Amino acid sequence: GYFRTRITSVDSIERNFRSIWEKLPAETKASYGQNYFEGFLSTLRKMEKRCSPNLRLVTDCMEHALTSRHPRARYSAGWDAKLLYIPLSYLPSALTDLL
């Protein structure tokens, strides 16, 4: 799943995207439009709300992988990874692209 870290800090990401947006040529900005850009930032904020602050889920997987006599081939940290991303990873790429 997604986890809340400094890398996923929306404030930092939004600052970077706004800086890049301001440097774009007017033609590119017009092509995408201000509504697209604001919608993108809104989506980022919504995604941050789904990020788990519990990094122990990740470190538990890492610890198991490093110390287990029989480590798993793949690990999934968080319920969303177990219910969504792992099953999707077994599907053909063409099908997951459609989803």
* pTM, two decimal places: 0.63
User: Do 67 and 49 sit in the same domain of this protein?
Assistant: no
1 vs 16, residue with greater confidence: 16
User: Do 46 and 65 sit in the same domain of this protein?
Assistant: no
Band of residue 71 on the pLDDT scale cut at 50, 70, 90 = very high
User: Do 39 and 59 sit in the same domain of this protein?
Assistant: no
Report percent pLDDT > 90 for the chain.
56
Within 13 Å, how many C-alpha atoms sit on residue 51's CB side? 16
The distance of Cα 7 from the centroid of its chain, to the nearest Å, equals 10
Please enumerate in sequence order all residues whose Cβ is within 8 A of that of 44, keeping only pairs 6 or more positions apart, or say none: 10, 13, 14, 17
In terms of residue numbers, what domain contains 96? 55-99
User: Do 65 and 78 sit in the same domain of this protein?
Assistant: yes
Number of domains in the chain: 2
Using one digit for the tens of pLDDT, what is the confidence trace for 10-45? 999 999 999 999 999 999 999 999 999 999 999 999
User: Do 47 and 63 sit in the same domain of this protein?
Assistant: no
| Range 8-47 burial, b when 16+ CB lie within 10 A, else e | eebeebeeeeeeeeeeeeeeeeeeeeeeeeeeebeeeeee
User: Do 59 and 49 sit in the same domain of this protein?
Assistant: no
